[in-house]
Chains A and B, each alone.
Chain A
């Protein structure tokens, strides 16, 4: 199957004379319907990478293809129609004066007739469970609610790909949970491809595949099981580990013989009770 996103040897530099480039020879491809998490410490080039995918930043060299079409200056707006982005700060990306205006903003840009806009805005708000807030102003919403509106604004455009550029990093645990479950639900309903750039390791553990960035380079790539079994290596890279992995390390230090492969929370519990009973 043809990948929906394909990056080949991307290089990017904010200032041409910069010694360490923001992106260095990044290549990967993503299949339709995948949930990809991109992790890495601050300044590792994650957000830059996300912005190159929909043409907000043009790479110095290399090629990007979205949905089989190579990204260039003439089709950048068509590609933006396929790629929806939700950014970090819920306040700064809220364009409309009320919830419904904000959801409609992207549709207005595409010149969608008003009758259809009314339907799509209502649908999108129902999907993120914000339909009862349609006429509220942003000042009267919580951070999680504003991010859900931002998602609705993207969903209303019916993109094939949603990029979450640290969309949950300014939210409290409750808001984070809200946003992630909303995305999961929408992904299942419409076979979306999700790229989530995140510091939140639990969010990354949800993904089908994790890409690890370090100083502008893609250093490793694989399933959450594979990435998290690297254990202390990740910590040295300035990243965190999921709770079961931390528990494993702590047990190991106390002389307990723990399995080497990655365990989800559920499997960790299973392993714990079976090993205690077998003693």
Chain B
């Protein structure tokens, strides 16, 4: 079984982002980038499936500028077999990404596609679901556990009230939640080996997909700043403030 994993290059989760003064977006110059944390979990799961003998090949794909190659090399160092970069310098919104991934999946014919449940930059939480719809595939979003059962897949999902388990026919699209696994660190020898693994570059416009954005971002602003509060000296003082000043108890 072939597994396709989609990874995104995003601003590192520890970075305190700055909004540009002209409100056109977030300042991405001289900022540390890394693989989207949910996608690391997706790669880890695919590599574990290979180690368990469930998967025969793990292909990682990323979409965007040439700098995404770095993200793909990270995935190769974690244990993926080969990588595909769908190169485009245009702004790619989730629907465009889903269409490009669908085109790649048509070519690669994977039985399972794993994505992160959301990217920590746009916080959309859409791409996996859109991809599943485009391919008419089943979906297991917010997955915290995968179990194969013959020709089908059981996915335990994190839902609002607790956990839910669904059975999916293959091919299926799965999006990873934080609790699916603990991603490994790539060792230095594996990072060196990853440099020799195949990385194919495909131009997005050659995939014959309409990637024009449907949404335009008019402006990006700082959220309202909370007023700095006060420190109280005792529990009794805290209680008095909550009852008399804030009137919330």
Answer yes or no: do A and B interact: no
CB within 8 Å of B: which residues of A? none
CB within 8 Å of A: which residues of B? none
